Amino acid sequence: MNPIKYPYLPEGRTIKYVTLDNPWMAAAKEFSRLHATDRQMPTGAVIVKNDRIIGSGANQVPLKHPLLARIHKDYFCVRRVLSIPSGQKYWLCPGCAASKHHSEARSVRDAHSHGEDTNGGDMYLWGHWWACKPCWDAAISGGIRDLYLLEGSDQLFNRDIKGNVVGKQFE
């Protein structure tokens, strides 16, 4: 099996994988379904420590425009409208440029807002096949030990792979 070539992976870090029957991954998926505003690429993250969820977050794209409603039912990403490849030119979209809108950073902030110490916790991320630099930075600065993705996510959530589930994650 060929190793996955992530657009970004910090030195010394690895990504671990779990199946959807993992309760923490299932929780990240459900949080995404309920709270993500980007319906094309919804993501959700939960931070787990001492066998309980201490923080959760979903991507919250801040842009809504009535003229684009036919293309994007709810909120939209400027990069996606312009067909920018994943991991590139984040500065074009306010939702992408500010990692504060990404599920990973939101989950760390959520835990801290409830007085939780994220140091040594694990993050389970639904809806992506990699994490961008700002999200890794948020996880690392929060002391997150391991990042878990859904097994097969490099195929399922990669817009460049034929047969992906992008836009159909909850069907």
Residue 170 CA from chain centroid, whole number: 15
When the pLDDT of each residue in the chain is averaged and rounded to a whole number, the result is 85
pLDDT of residue 69: 46
| 32-61 mean pLDDT | 90
Q: How confident is the model over 52-111, as pLDDT tens digits?
A: 999 999 987 655 555 444 444 555 566 666 676 666 666 555 555 556 678 999 999 999
For residue 108, how many other CB atoms are within 10 A of its CB?
27
The answer on pLDDT for 139 being more than 60 is yes
The residue with greater pLDDT, 117 or 1, is 117
Secondary structure of 10-28 in HEC code, one letter for each residue: CCCCCEEEECCCCHHHHHH
pLDDT of residue 150: 98
| First-residue to last-residue Cα distance in the chain | 29
Q: How many residues would you count in the chain?
A: 171
pTM, whole model, 2 decimals?
0.83
